[in-house]
Structure 1
């Protein structure tokens, strides 16, 4: 009997050992373009480039929007509950009660499947991280604290009141060490545990969210004459007020309005610098993992909660539905993942939740509204036909087959883009026969999807445009 018990325990141990570790690397405010290997941006991301070479990139990964200006809250709530936008909003007020006790969040489900769960960095979800994860260290707020001198700057010809390298400004430097570097230390601590369970690590960087601070050596890599103005630069976006992105909105207030080439290039320089600094920290994590016995059996995902304008279309934030703000980098690597692969089918970044639950042999609750990517990774499955987006009751969007429709219901504005010929979304086709045809095809698909998801926005006001 004792021998049988030993054999049984050994068998269970072997099954547990086959489960892959899961390393989730999460950036904040990082557009899909900000990885050199994925776009034509002149930005240095050698470590993310090598991760893309080692694994598979989903080139059209979306965040479906937000119900207030903090898009990160919506994105992260969807990610950790598996609920799509409006159901996630409805659940937000009772998250602490519903999830802390009922074990329904991503990490809790991984824990139930036998995983040791760890988090470091930004959380910003309405349930306590230390009740959701086994180990929670250096849990950060929504953004590093900034100061008034970080806004409506710089003005050409005047001294810049803000320095992204001055540690006295606090922000990412608060505590004495850059927050991105602290996550590397925390990863080392998690990896050094003698716990023999497979692990799930949720490493959530605040970078490259503003205040975009990085050491001087990273700023020095991007002299202002290296920075190109976005092709879709505008001094002022014509619909910014009715779409909910006025100059008074915190993100938009970072630079003066109207936008100037000098101000936009300065902000992009700081954005690139903190991303390259972030990339270096990710490189340290990947290097350490490769030297670890766990390295060969770890599934890695790198993505971000949403993108960012940073001067494109005259916008600085993420409260819009252009590709620079709704699309994110999304790279997976690990056992069974094709090296150098690219998949163009539309996905939502939150699809990573059921994907990893499946890999862990965990329960995927019926309430989860996102889809596992494992069939696509294996070259199987039926891809989504489209992706939708929403911001408050002020904006709606659908992308399908390289065509895009954006609606601003209160402004009675519709915009149409052919992304294959116009990837920077500069040529609005709504007043052309081609554009009206595209809009007429996409509008009912969007309406049906919004109805399915319980979205009560009234789109009748813009129907005449279509």
Structure 2
């Protein structure tokens, strides 16, 4: 009995330390924070999460050492560059339709010291950013230090409308002459890792904790990597996804006509073209994994690992041939779900939590870990209650959207997708149909149970619209789904 009370007292003491105001915390008791942020990395493109084709041994080791949130989502985007909205939400804590979209709005957030890094800096953290930023504000205003800030995507030449079946490919992912990730003479993923490693080496012996925002462009297109990584994935050995289609029949309703991402591969899609793109996707992911391995090795070598919380995630997913799509401007799981893990001192290893979260929950989570004040208008939620074994009831559903072309809500193992321009509604039972191949609102599948579920999800979506500041009027478009 005494042992039980001692254990409970120690757990309570740890939680109290996490929740203490910053002024009462010793710097040494607060963890440093390392964010490893990928771009265009779907939840289904990591070996540890079930993809048996791709090699991600270093990322897999993180999943083994930490807690995985298996259903992590991005809320969507207000233009084709989904990463802009995702990263703006991440750094401001605002929901999609409340987040600042213009430079003046972002400057106002900066002046109010509302950015993620500013809140941690105010709590005594040293902050550094390297890699992809993609917000309309100079990151040097937001972080103590920045190194090698990269643009939204590495520009190259000749990457579109390829490969064509039966014709020589005009482009090579490993040839530096095409620019892209090779611009500057060294692959951008390697440069980003170099910056993180240098900062970690410089942090040895310093008492103040750090926030290291390491944002890779990979595996965003152009999907380039060194020859030896490309050679690991011969295209003819890469599997065509089970939900492959030559085209999505609702592509125009989705707002994807002439969208840049969708023009990377020829229309209609062919199995060969998808195999080539997926082989290049896997190669740059494995190259990214190698760079993450270098960072993790440095954490171990310097002794910083024992007091560092690591968050690994991505800003959104990617189709790469699924459903006849190539990009992320859609509401299918391959594009809205991302990997998310957190590991470090006090965090259970090898645990999986299936409660739905947004990747932007990383912001309030780390602020609470740091004992920093969470701005009152942050729309996302700390994950510490879930990590401590509690079951909060505040989030039972997830919503998403793309401009005014698409809306989505998922709950109870189902997903409702709406294309308001054509009054289209699609319903999927994700538990039974995780690849979203069987629309339950198609005429052959419609029954009263599916109709009732679509109405319930529609009501859920309306509630989430109000909560997240989404003013798109759906009730007039879908009167058959609207509550009476």
1:41 is displaced (CA, Å) by 4.2
Do residues 278 (structure 1) and 294 (structure 2) align?
no
**C-alpha offsets along residues 369-421 of structure 1, whole Å, 9 cap, x if unaligned?**
00000111111141520110000011000110211100001111000000111
Match for residue 389 of structure 2 among 355, 379, 386: 379
Match of 1:50 in 2: 61
> Aligned ranges for residues 192-207 of structure 1 at < 5 Å?
192-193=201-202, 195-207=206-218
SS at match of 2:254: coil
What TM-score, normalized by structure 2, do the two folds share? 0.91
Match for residue 455 of structure 2 among 426, 432, 440: 440
Mean CA deviation greater in 288-297 or 454-463: 454-463
Distance 1:47 1:40 in 2: 15
**C-alpha offsets along residues 129-164 of structure 1, whole Å, 9 cap, x if unaligned?**
0110001000000000122x1000000111111100
SS at match of 2:202: coil
Do residues 256 (structure 1) and 266 (structure 2) align?
yes
Distance 1:393 1:439 in 2: 20
**C-alpha offsets along residues 192-234 of structure 1, whole Å, 9 cap, x if unaligned?**
2254310000000000000000011111111123211111111
Structure 1 pair 226–123 and aligned structure 2 pair: CA distance change class (3 A):
same
Do residues 173 (structure 1) and 182 (structure 2) align?
yes
SS at match of 2:220: coil
> Is the Cα contact below 8 Å between 1:31 and 1:308 reproduced in 2?
yes
Distance 1:182 1:157 in 2: 37
Distance 2:358 2:102 in 1: 19
Distance 1:19 1:185 in 2: 25
> Is the Cα contact below 8 Å between 1:407 and 1:462 reproduced in 2?
no
Match of 1:355 in 2: 365
Match for residue 83 of structure 2 among 44, 49, 72: 72
Distance 2:455 2:289 in 1: 42
Match of 1:189 in 2: 198
> Is the Cα contact below 8 Å between 1:95 and 1:127 reproduced in 2?
no
Do residues 129 (structure 1) and 144 (structure 2) align?
no
Match of 1:9 in 2: none
> Is the Cα contact below 8 Å between 1:62 and 1:328 reproduced in 2?
yes
1:245 is displaced (CA, Å) by 1.0
Distance 1:310 1:465 in 2: 32
SS at match of 1:299: strand
Distance 2:430 2:186 in 1: 42
Do residues 303 (structure 1) and 327 (structure 2) align?
no
> Is the Cα contact below 8 Å between 1:34 and 1:41 reproduced in 2?
no
Match of 1:455 in 2: 470
Match of 1:144 in 2: 154
Mean CA deviation greater in 183-192 or 277-286: 183-192
**C-alpha offsets along residues 28-70 of structure 1, whole Å, 9 cap, x if unaligned?**
0110011111124421111111100000100000000000000
1:96 is displaced (CA, Å) by 4.2
Match for residue 120 of structure 1 among 100, 107, 130: 130
1:293 is displaced (CA, Å) by 2.2
Distance 1:40 1:187 in 2: 28
Distance 1:14 1:306 in 2: 35
> Is the Cα contact below 8 Å between 2:458 and 2:481 reproduced in 1?
no
SS at match of 2:478: helix
**C-alpha offsets along residues 245-294 of structure 1, whole Å, 9 cap, x if unaligned?**
11x11000000000000101100000000001001111111111012221
Do residues 84 (structure 1) and 95 (structure 2) align?
yes
SS at match of 1:251: helix
Q: Structure 1: where are the runs of 5+ without partners?
A: 1-11
Distance 2:92 2:202 in 1: 27
**C-alpha offsets along residues 410-453 of structure 1, whole Å, 9 cap, x if unaligned?**
11100000011100000000141132121011111111111222
Distance 1:279 1:93 in 2: 33
SS at match of 2:163: coil
Q: Structure 2: where are the runs of 5+ without partners?
A: 1-22
Distance 1:362 1:259 in 2: 49
Match for residue 269 of structure 1 among 265, 279, 298: 279
SS at match of 2:161: coil
Aligned-pair RMSD on alpha carbons? 1.4
1:102 is displaced (CA, Å) by 2.2
SS at match of 2:35: strand
> Is the Cα contact below 8 Å between 2:455 and 2:481 reproduced in 1?
no
